[in-house]
C-alpha cells in the first residue's frame, strides 16, 4: 500500500510555513505545521515522516537542541535546517548532526525555491515504504 510522503515543517514563524506550503502543496505531499519542539518529537514518534524542515526558531526549545534527539529517534531522516544564525558553530553542529541542507533567513524567494528544490530531490530518491505489522 502506498501513502503520500509526509513533510513536517517545524517553525514558530507562520510566514515560513505559509511560503513553503504554498510552493509544495501542489506536489501531493502530506504537509504538517508544527510550532513546538516537543510536538515535532511526537510527530516523529507517532508517524512515518519522510522529511523534516526544521527552523531553529521554535516555541519552547531551540531547533538545534532537539536535533540530537531526532537523530536518536530517526538517524536517517532527511532534515532541512532554516536559521537566522549563520555563525560557524551552528553550521558545524548541523553538519555533525547530519543536516541534509541548510537555508538562511530572511527567506527570500530564491531561498524558498532552493528549499523546495532540495525537498523535491529528497522526496524523489527516498522510497515510501508502508509496513504492515502482523501480530505474532
Q: Quick check: is 136 in a domain?
A: no
How many domains are there within the chain? Answer: 1
Question: Would you state the pLDDT for residue 2?
Answer: 62
Whether 27 is in a domain gets the answer yes
- Does residue 134 fall inside a structural domain? no
Domain-located, residue 132: no
Domain contains 43: yes
Q: State pTM to two decimals.
A: 0.85
Q: How many residues does the chain have?
A: 136
Is residue 70 within 8 A of residue 38, CB to CB? The reply is: no
What confidence tens digit (pLDDT) does each residue in 11-59 have? 999 999 999 999 998 788 999 999 999 999 999 999 999 999 999 888 7
Structural domain that includes position 31: 6-125
Condensed to tens digits (0 to 9), the pLDDT of residues 110-119 reads 999 999 999 9
H or E element that contains 49: none
Amino acid at each position: 500500500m502506498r501513502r503520500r510522503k509526509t513533510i513536517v515543517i517545524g517553525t514558530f514563524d507562520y510566514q515560513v510555513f505559509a511560503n513553503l506550503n504554498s510552493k509544495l502543496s501542489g506536489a501531493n505531499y502530506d504537509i504538517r505545521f508544527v510550532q513546538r519542539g516537543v510536538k515535532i518529537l511526537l510527530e516523529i514518534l507517532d508517524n512515518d515522516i519522510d522529511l523534516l524542515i526544521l527552523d531553529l526558531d521554535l516555541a519552547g526549545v531551540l531547533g538545534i537542541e532537539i536535533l540530537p534527539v531526532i537523530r536518536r529517534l530517526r538517524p536517517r531522516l532527511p532534515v532541512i535546517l532554516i536559521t537566522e544564525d549563520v555563525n560557524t558553530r551552528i553550521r558545524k553542529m548541523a553538519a555533525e548532526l547530519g543536516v541534509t541542507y541548510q537555508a538562511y533567513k530572511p527567506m527570500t524567494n530564491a531561498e524558498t525555491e532552493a528549499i523546495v528544490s532540495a525537498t523535491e530531490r529528497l522526496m524523489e530518491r527516498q522510497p515510501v515504504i508502508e509496513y504492515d505489522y502482523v501480530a505474532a
